[in-house]
Structure 1
């Protein structure tokens, strides 16, 4: 079995030494190949990968093409594989992580396996997600994500800590660390590059679920996601919010999307009223018709997502 490790970099030089060292630990005893797609980094990312992992494949995108485009290019440029490990540069695998994820892919109906993630301080990251809905967005608006997430109908982010103690299927999962079977990739790929950043993993996982290949959470596979939080950046939070509308519209049509848009405006405007700058930016963009119509790209983003 050969694992393709697909990493997208964008000014990620400071993260790469530990990333590559972690791969050797998390994939110990397995055959694997690293492919890095670089989105026109201005630092020494490309040179460092070639120095630390001379056997790796490096794809120089020539521009900041987005996360989905990088993943697609990395997979297309790689030798034969049995599964694809999509990995952010700021993720650190622990010993045994990938073998456990690979074993989970053998479970019938599984197309994607994801691990138990903690942040740099060891705090659990709520990675499990339910499919976006109007009611869940309203639940988030009125109750807050953490409280609403304890209830299946009212929250998109699964926040009950007990849910992270057991192996289970989830509608989709946070996209920093995902092992995708070769069958799932061949049937569902490519990742939708029109999203540029955010919602691409949601779209892929939901399309896989529609085809009977679900996302499976594995509690005894562990990894650390060091950083990367879109909420610190108004531009990124606005982009995330716009892409949520675009994804919902593709799956549900205009009428239901109108209700979803209203719920998002209510959520973001209420937080903007409390002085939250990211929500202020998101509200502004939600109320700007041209921003809802256009395909977001690099010019729409204040700064890149950390490590990508």
Structure 2
């Protein structure tokens, strides 16, 4: 029986040096596993493609088709870039058994890719498995989550202990499990996905430019009968926000608000989405009042509450983004690859 194959997909957006480090770690981990590494240059608009192609060839990674660098030609966001890689498939044109998503600013510990794959092999109804994630300072990142809800929007924005205790079962980021645990969703920084999940869901919804796309995929996978799991026994080191710049946001970009709104409407409908936004506004308003009275430090990007309200008032009058119908992704042609 042929050992299941893995296609490791790494997206690059203006971080070629970091992407090369991630690719090097992935190549090391894939050395004894059947499969390939695919680096997708995701429309950086700089010299990333030339750097990645030159270095990959110079380091001998491209020999035998073990690593390819492909140009998506546009920056359609995280989901669009991953879908491009999924459509590209293996170098022989076939589909792998598993897709492993690795952020360009993440480096797997020894055995991580194998451990994630083997878990999915051993658990036939498990569709997605994410590893532990820790920062370069060795602090663990919370990447095991519940699905967002009206209650979680209020709890997360009000930042008030009694409310958090009352709504503890709604808090999105759960305490990090100490053993393999079924969860609602996990981050795409280090995520193994069964091919059948992609076939059942059609891949990522490209309406999400950034944020909420993993949440949505795990939700649709669950609807199709596939569960998501968090495995703390393997991990990656993750810089975090290297491409998005989230840690240094002075204002929340419009695409974050767009993604949040799209998720709630798509998953729960317009009325629920409105209630979730009102809960977020109420929690934020209470938090801002406490900040003023107690002189607490700022915890959100500048003008977050105002931007949230402005987006909520104008979004219904803007042309809604269309999303692709769930379907098996069409393989790339030779010219596209």
TM-score in terms of structure 1 length? 0.85
8 A Cα contact 1:16 1:48, kept in partner:
no
In the alignment, which of 275, 280, 283 is matched to residue 303 of structure 2? 280
TM-superposed CA distance for 1:72, in Å, is 0.6
Equivalent-residue separation in structure 1 for 2:187 and 2:9 (angstroms): 16
TM-superposed CA distance for 1:286, in Å, is 3.5
1:20 maps to 23
TM-score in terms of structure 2 length? 0.79
User: Is 2:89 aligned against 1:66?
Assistant: no
User: Do the aligned partners of residues 231 and 39 (structure 1) sit closer, same or farther apart at CA in structure 2, a change above 3 Å counting?
Assistant: same
2:142 maps to 126
Equivalent-residue separation in structure 2 for 1:201 and 1:24 (angstroms): 24
2:9 maps to 6
User: Do the aligned partners of residues 267 and 46 (structure 1) sit closer, same or farther apart at CA in structure 2, a change above 3 Å counting?
Assistant: farther
State which structure, 1 or 2, has the greater radius of gyration over its C-alpha atoms.
2
Helix, strand or coil at the partner of 2:81: helix
| Superposition CA RMSD, Å | 2.6
8 A Cα contact 1:272 1:279, kept in partner:
no
Gaps of 5+ in 2: 292-297, 322-337
8 A Cα contact 2:155 2:283, kept in partner:
no
Equivalent-residue separation in structure 2 for 1:249 and 1:77 (angstroms): 31
2:335 maps to none
TM-superposed CA distance for 1:257, in Å, is 1.6
8 A Cα contact 1:25 1:93, kept in partner:
no
Equivalent-residue separation in structure 2 for 1:115 and 1:295 (angstroms): 35
8 A Cα contact 2:146 2:170, kept in partner:
no
Helix, strand or coil at the partner of 1:195: coil
- Which structure 2 residues correspond to residues 218-237 of structure 1 after superposition, within 5 A? 218-228=231-241, 230-236=246-252
In the alignment, which of 212, 228, 250 is matched to residue 225 of structure 2? 212
In the alignment, which of 181, 201, 220 is matched to residue 188 of structure 1? 201
Helix, strand or coil at the partner of 2:169: coil
Give the total of aligned pairs: 293
2:44 maps to 41
User: Do the aligned partners of residues 11 and 211 (structure 1) sit closer, same or farther apart at CA in structure 2, a change above 3 Å counting?
Assistant: same
Equivalent-residue separation in structure 2 for 1:37 and 1:203 (angstroms): 22
Equivalent-residue separation in structure 1 for 2:116 and 2:166 (angstroms): 26
TM-superposed CA distance for 1:295, in Å, is 5.6
User: Is 2:137 aligned against 1:114?
Assistant: no
8 A Cα contact 2:21 2:107, kept in partner:
yes
Gaps of 5+ in 1: 297-308
8 A Cα contact 2:7 2:96, kept in partner:
yes
Equivalent-residue separation in structure 1 for 2:177 and 2:306 (angstroms): 32
TM-superposed CA distance for 1:291, in Å, is 3.8
1:48-100 residue CA offsets vs partner (Å, 9 max, x unmatched): 32232334333322222211111111110122311001111001011000111
1:140 maps to 156
TM-superposed CA distance for 1:237, in Å, is 5.6
Equivalent-residue separation in structure 2 for 1:148 and 1:238 (angstroms): 28
User: Do the aligned partners of residues 277 and 220 (structure 1) sit closer, same or farther apart at CA in structure 2, a change above 3 Å counting?
Assistant: closer
